[in-house]
Amino acid sequence: MTVEQSCTIVEAVQLPSGGVSMTFQSHGMAAQITRPGQFVHVRCGEGLLLRRPISICSWSVDGDLIRMVFEARGEGTRWLAQRQVGENLDVLGPLGRGFQMEPQGRYLLVGGGIGVPPMLGCAKHAGERNTAILGFRSAANAMLVEEFATCCEQVRVATDDGSMGHHGFVDALVREELERSSDYTAVLACGPKPMLRSVAKVAETFGIPCQVSMEERMGCGVGACLVCACKGADGHQKHVCKDGPVFDAKEVSWDD
């Protein structure tokens, strides 16, 4: 059930990558999260009309805590990045359809850039048999790698400039991993659309199911407006906020 709440910030940390890790205490919202990959819609400042969608990085039902990891890229997220412990946020959530995961499944988790944080939620949700493949522009932009290492069997990193891990894109590492071991339940991915397209193609080559979390601008966050509408493979319009953000890769039209 989606609710709107005034939530208190209990932790706000500037990450070495330049991102921000922010945890807030909700009033039962954490217990409403059904799958990793869902998001919250945060009001950012008095003068900004639209909320900002922020993916849920991880959550704790016992502590009623929800963690967001984001980058200050625009006016709204710059405002959010300046909030301090003890301040309150107007939060709507949890929203969207997350990743479908089986408790005993083995998953190849692929994240690119700011698409990395929600994959940590997937890693913590499943067992330790998963592999994480994380892509960044450079070593300076890398985030959460050590946290993935605590809950994944293997973590591999790719950087555009070769300053950390594999020199190149994540799809090359996905191919290497599936050539080495094809007993994954599914590939789960979040990041820029070109990355998702490439990862989905590799997964299809090996006959492995693939789910992707799409990034689109959003307005209302509940499917009432058309801001985040995108074309599906069947030609019909889908709302990323309501029908997604997670889709089976075969549902997505990769042509646009």
Read off the pLDDT of residues 54-75 as tens digits, 9 standing for 90 and up.
999 999 999 999 999 999 988 9
Mean pLDDT of 84-102: 95
DSSP assignment letter at 60: E
Q: In angstroms, what CA-CA distances link 172 with 82, 132, 135?
A: 37, 13, 11
pLDDT value for 216: 58
Is a pLDDT exceeding 90 seen at residue 170? yes
pLDDT value for 228: 52
Read off the pLDDT of residues 114-156 as tens digits, 9 standing for 90 and up.
999 999 999 998 878 999 999 999 999 999 999 999 999 999 9
Is a pLDDT exceeding 90 seen at residue 162? yes
Please check whether residue 186 is in contact with residue 107, taking contact to mean a CB–CB distance below 8 angstroms: yes
Mean pLDDT of 182-188: 95
User: 89 has which bridge partners?
Assistant: 7
Is a pLDDT exceeding 90 seen at residue 242? no
Is a pLDDT exceeding 50 seen at residue 220? no
Rg for the chain (alpha carbons), in Å?
17
By CB atoms closer than 10 A (0-12, 13-18, 19+), residue 242 is middle
Enclosing H/E stretch for 176? helix 170-180
Reduced to 3 states, what is the DSSP secondary structure of residue 112? strand
- For 37, half-sphere exposure in the C-beta direction (CA atoms, 13 angstrom radius) is 30
Model confidence, pTM: 0.92
pLDDT value for 232: 65
By CB atoms closer than 10 A (0-12, 13-18, 19+), residue 205 is exposed
